[in-house]
């Protein structure tokens, strides 16, 4: 399952990801990962979620970000859900014109490894591509 929550700054995406991660921890049988730039969510998310701060990795593009996702999955085959907060903060070169690269990679990872993804995107929903619209929750 892939879900994309899209909205402009101040639309409630941060509260939604906190609630979604904490809910997934109580419902899912596998491990839950939350990826964010910085550690601002650390105190709001249950400590049994694995928090990954992208800041030290200096991620340049969606290829590098996909490599990070592959490494997380390869290191722990019990990962059932990966939450990605503010994807454009973790991937500064990312935007609505090239986000299909990431979504296509997520589709392949979901199919191959059975991992669910929830992605928070700070953008106007009117800018969403057809592929992104397919997954807007």
Q: Using one digit for the tens of pLDDT, what is the confidence trace for 56-100?
A: 999 999 999 999 999 999 999 899 999 999 999 999 999 999 999
* Residue 36: burial class (beta carbons within 10 Å; 0-12, 13-18, 19+): buried
Q: Which of 29, 104, 21, 18 is nearest to 69 (CA)?
A: 104
pLDDT in tens, 4-55: 999 888 777 888 888 999 999 999 889 999 999 988 877 788 889 999 999 9
Note whether 130 and 96 are within 8 A (CB).
Answer: no
Phi, psi of 2 (to 5 degrees): -120, 130
The pLDDT assigned to 36 comes to 92
For 56, which DSSP code?
A: G
The pLDDT assigned to 14 comes to 83
The pLDDT assigned to 42 comes to 79
The pLDDT assigned to 45 comes to 86
* Distant-in-sequence, close-in-space partners of 88: CB < 8 Å, separation ≥ 6: 94, 95, 121, 122, 123
Q: Is the pLDDT of residue 128 over 80?
A: yes
Instruction: Classify domain 2-133 by CATH number.
Output: 3.40.50.300
Note whether 7 and 115 are within 8 A (CB).
Answer: no
The pLDDT assigned to 104 comes to 97
Strand (E) or helix (H) holding 85: none
Give 19-39 as a DSSP string: HHHHHHHHH-SSEEEEEESSS
Q: Is the pLDDT of residue 136 over 90?
A: yes
In Å, the largest CA–CA distance within the chain is 37
- Rounded Cα distance, 104 and 131, in Å: 8
Q: Which of 11, 7, 20 is nearest to 116 (CA)?
A: 20
């Amino acid at each position: 399952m892939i879900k994309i929550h899209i909205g402009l700054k101040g639309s409630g995406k941060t509260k939604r990801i906190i609630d979604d991660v904490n809910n997934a921890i109580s419902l899912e049988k596998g491990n839950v990962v939350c990826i964010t730039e910085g550690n601002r969510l650390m105190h709001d998310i249950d400590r049994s979620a694995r928090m990954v701060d992208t800041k030290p990795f200096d991620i340049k593009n969606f290829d590098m970000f996909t490599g990070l996702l592959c490494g997380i999955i390869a290191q722990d085959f019990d990962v059932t859900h990966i939450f990605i907060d503010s994807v454009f903060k973790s991937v500064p070169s990312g935007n609505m014109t090239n986000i299909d690269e990431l979504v296509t990679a997520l589709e392949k990872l979901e199919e191959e490894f059975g991992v669910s993804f929830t992605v928070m995107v700070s953008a106007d929903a009117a800018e969403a591509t057809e592929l992104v619209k397919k997954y807007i929750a």
